[in-house]
Chain A
Amino acid sequence: GQSLEQPSEVTAVEGAIVQINCTYQTSGFYGLSWYQQHDGGAPTFLSYNALDGLEETGRFSSFLSRSDSYGYLLLQELQMKDSASYFCAATGGGNKLTFGTGTQLKVEL
């Protein structure tokens, strides 16, 4: 089976930097993705790491360490609109995604 664990909730102030961690136990692991989901909405793709290291996309960066079965999403210059749920997801065979437990991010003034 596969499992991906995330903190359930993170709170930060506007303009700050926040890191959301993801630890996983999977078989047939190809890479780690991150998705954002606002309440009642569809998940939207943020980033994907197939190899170890840091991927940067604007205010968002994502990191993967295969040897540690660990990854994180880094959000910089937080904005109120970043308040949402964030999910890591492991890509397995057949391009199937197994989602993490999810982290609710609350951005405060």
Chain B
Amino acid sequence: GAVVSQHPSWVICKSGTSVKIECRSLDFQATTMFWYRQFPKQSLMLMATSNEGSKATYEQGVEKDKFLINHASLTLSTLTVTSAHPEDSSFYICSAPDNLRRSYNEQFFGPGTRLTVL
């Protein structure tokens, strides 16, 4: 149990286009999901907290108009990278805690989406 999926697993796009990444909790409901970005050989940096039924909260330095987050349901959050540029190329990962069945302190991560902007 407690599986999180992401789609797509990788995407290549041209500079200036927008890319949507989906994060789904497959066997539990997630009122909160988190989005991270990870550059090669670096740590995970929290970008934003996705809240079902309300606006996402963004970490300092993350442009909310560039990284649009929509928590459409209790099992789906989407991250849209708008007007992507080569510097946005990174590994994007989502996570969610399974509040009901597991320890709230354990978060379950999706497999990640590797974005390459040409």
Give the B-binding residues of A (Cβ under 8 A): 31, 33, 35, 40-45, 48, 50, 87, 91, 94-102
Contacts and interface: CB of A to CB of B under 8 A. Distances in A.
A61 B103 CA distance: 18
Contacts of A44: 109
Given A42-B110, A42-B111, A96-B34, A50 B105 contact: yes
Interface residues of B, number: 25
B105 A48 contact: yes
Contacts, number: 56
A66 to B, nearest CB: 15
Interface stretch (B14-22, B39-47, B75-83): B39-47
B49 interface: yes
Nearest to B44: A99
B25 interface: no
A102 B105 contact: no
B93 A95 contact: no
Contacts of A31: 105
B44 A87 contact: yes
Contacts of A95: 32, 97, 104-105, 107
Contacts of B4: 42
Contacts of A102: 42-43
Contacts of B93: 42-43
